[in-house]
Chains A and B, each alone.
Chain A
């Protein structure tokens, strides 16, 4: 069993076979001196001095009152903007070494291995910038609507924030999430394999309301260009059908506060179900047109290479996918016994209807519990009980959405798309557990 970080608070039983049958008989006969000697030796071997006392009296965390129970605490507003506990520093956005060479055109990944529920804390929302990020002055930010509209218009943030708003919970996933794993295992943890996924409550105005105001030509104008105000002025083509559905938002709020600068402050597009690159940040312009634009990020990047040498262009939907976030790669199980296998499932086509979990590499499956809320185009948390018997195991999850689509395995995905696609890898993820309790990233077909 993994012994490098003993779990605090446990009063450890003596190791199995610590006392032989003869010794037990001796103890019963009252030869306690022998027991004392043997106990001291065993404690030293465990290298956990607290245990000595623990076995005798109890847990020092209970017996010795800590400073927070015996001294005065901090006043209110000591942190005017609250921060996580200093004990939570391990959970940070991190770059994957060697993935990119320029921080301004890079990715930082959300630490999914340590998160609960479905909402991503705003400070841990993954980042993808194309030419660096700025803290944009909201008083100088404008949204322009032009192209096939009766009235080309300009809106200030004051204007947009006066309009009736809606708040909706949606996942956002980069099209390249899990992209490093198309050909083989490349990264150790779920942070790097699936951490270009976040889920937030977004507040804003349906873009359709604004296009209605401007008198958009919905007959001719079946495509919409969204453009950012950053150096790259990132552009993507959005289908008018999605905007007409009322789902696409011009959003300024995220998880109850304004968007963070790294996530597009003060205004971004929210395109539920569609890959993150279309959720244009620092949104400055919407143009209605009769053709797609073939912008750099839909003609050079974010195109999926198929085995026949063709690239799929304008691939946008994030298909149904799931991953177990704990236990997951790079983690250690400390002991045999009960565990709560927990993970996330999501679909760009609608609601997740079920998630099945396998602990034997996909031979047998059990249906997991979906925790509420279960929302369309939002992350859904699933949990399932598991008693680990200490033997090797391979953990997998498989999600199904309300279109009937079942998350595919690597074999199926590679048969259809080869291994060079980079984008839209939604294969079933496998985590291998070995006797030592170590969990690692593997692929099974």
Chain B
């Protein structure tokens, strides 16, 4: 039976009528969506909280969930700058009053954290629900999203430690968001109609106005910035990033790289590619600690241990904590068993590139 007729059968069994849609011009194309289908995909939450699921979560539950799902990338307090930019930091009690984060004006904060920028608490709920955790998006239940969000809000002192965030009180939380008054749509880069005509933006009026002067346009030319010498080779050897013929060549900025290996990639190269593809390299370096230990550190610690391979395969699969510090390694359910074994063997053999 073809895939098409299977789908059709399933729809008929489910009592779906495929002819209800009155697409006069394009007969036979498309069908009505079922309520269950729309509910399965229509998960967005708008600033007016349209789409917000019912539910609640405590700060305490949020701490637990955070440690399991979030700490490895974001740090225990949402402060980590190791993998992603920090979520928490840079906001004050005064900002909660004014609704505009002061350090954005002064530029005093070295980085803009999520809570410094975001104006709408709905954005955080929506994003955590649709895209987190990083390797298992859409796996959190609404109550878990509420709890994780409650913990984040507590870290920024937007809600107290005993707070229970719910669909019933999230509007009150919105009124305490530190940068709730920090967004403007008064600019010319919204392609729809202007705010004056019930849309957004200024209708497309640019904020700069240059003229196409052709002759003697200025007296002198001042170079205000140039690439510093130490950064010349930061992007590799530019001679190898330009064509070998033509009107120019690339400038040699470092020693020529090794010529690419011909033929089949080695087992080590395949393992390295796998480590990249599965996101392992986000937290582990080859030689040294990033978020988790470096591969060489792991090899050194366990090489002599007879059951090292089995033990590490289990650790990667199920996650672990405490061997290398407080930051837990989340379970890597998205990596196939044979791939985990290949990666562990590669790590124990020194995590070589070739």
Contact = CB atoms under 8 A, between A and B. Distances in A.
Interface of A: 2, 4-5, 8, 87-92, 94, 96-98, 101-105, 111, 113-114, 130-132, 139, 144-147, 151-155, 158-159, 162-163, 184-189, 191-192, 210, 213-214, 222, 225, 227, 231-233, 235, 239-242, 273-274, 284-285, 287, 289, 291-296, 299-300, 303-306, 308-317, 319, 326-327, 329-334, 339-340, 348-349, 354, 356, 360-367, 394, 398, 400, 405-410, 412-413, 415-417, 420, 424, 430, 432, 438-445
Interface residues of B, number: 111
Interface stretch (B37-45, B155-163, B325-333): B37-45
B21 A153 contact: yes
Contacts of A326: 246-248
A146 B33 contact: yes
A211 B208 CA distance: 36
B183 A233 contact: no
A222 to B, nearest CB: 7
B250 interface: yes
Contacts of B204: 317, 349
Given A162-B29, A299-B123, A317-B190, A432 B240 contact: no
27 contacts: A5-B249, A88-B243, A90-B250, A94-B235, A103-B279, A105-B84, A146-B42, A152-B33, A158-B4, A184-B225, A188-B231, A240-B192, A241-B191, A241-B199, A291-B46, A305-B112, A313-B119, A314-B200, A315-B187, A316-B191, A317-B190, A317-B204, A319-B206, A330-B250, A364-B217, A439-B251, A443-B224
Given A356-B214, A412-B210, A331 B192 contact: no
B191 A242 contact: yes
A-B complex: 5 closest residue pairs judged by Cβ atoms: A239-B192, A309-B105, A361-B221, A315-B189, A331-B248
B251 A332 contact: yes
Contacts of B242: 90-91, 113-114, 330-331
Contacts of A130: 131
Given A151-B21, A154-B37, A240-B192, A443 B123 contact: no
Q: Could you tell me the dominant secondary structure of chain B's interface residues?
A: loop
B296 to A, nearest CB: 19
A318 to B, nearest CB: 9
A103 B212 CA distance: 41
Contacts of B207: 416-417
A239 B243 contact: no
B131 A231 contact: yes
A354 B200 contact: no
A114 B187 CA distance: 35
Contact of A441 (B107, B134, B137, B226): B226
B234 interface: yes
Contacts of A88: 243
A289 B222 CA distance: 50
Interface in B106-134: 106-107, 112, 114, 117-120, 122-123, 126-127, 130-131, 134
Nearest to A233: B130
